[in-house]
């Protein structure tokens, strides 16, 4: 989908971060006014499943990736999409991303 929803109700749309694309540059984390995203270390099991090019680039950037820590706060303003140089963030309707 990869566009802003202009949603006034928090939690109606949730961001998803593509771990195969995120290089942990933190732009999305710093620009989010609702503290939906955070940088966290990539765990060993997940790290091994990433493409080799992503693993290499993560090693240069400290091994951190953006993760969604508070999806219920997201208002789909689109700021994270705008600053993500890797196009690693997408929005999904709540039912699409949580199975309910």
Confidence grade of residue 13 (pLDDT, cut at 50, 70, 90): confident
- Contact predicate 41/35, CB 8 Å: no
Is the model's pLDDT at 6 over the cut of 90?
no
Domain ranges across the chain? 13-98
Q: What would the mean pLDDT of 45-69 be, rounded to a whole number?
A: 89
Q: What would the mean pLDDT of 1-16 be, rounded to a whole number?
A: 68
Read out DSSP for the chain?
--S----SSTTSEEEEE-TTT-----HHHHH-TT--EEEEEPPHHHHHHS-HHHHHHHHHTTSEEEEES-GGG-----HHHHH-TT--EEEEEHHHHH--
Confidence grade of residue 66 (pLDDT, cut at 50, 70, 90): very high
**2/98 Cα distance (integer angstroms):** 17
**The model scores a pTM over 0.85:** no
For 13-98, give the CATH class: alpha beta
Is the model's pLDDT at 100 over the cut of 50?
no
């Amino acid at each position: 989908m990869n566009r802003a929803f202009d949603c006034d109700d928090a939690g109606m749309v949730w961001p998803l971060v593509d771990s195969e694309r995120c290089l942990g540059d933190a732009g999305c984390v710093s620009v989010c006014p609702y503290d939906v995203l955070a940088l966290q270390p990539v765990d060993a099991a997940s790290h091994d499943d990433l493409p080799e090019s992503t693993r290499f680039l993560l090693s240069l950037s400290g091994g951190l990736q953006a993760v969604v820590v508070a999806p219920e706060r997201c208002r789909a303003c689109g700021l994270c999409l705008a600053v993500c140089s890797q196009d690693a963030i997408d929005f999904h309707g709540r039912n699409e991303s949580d199975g309910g």
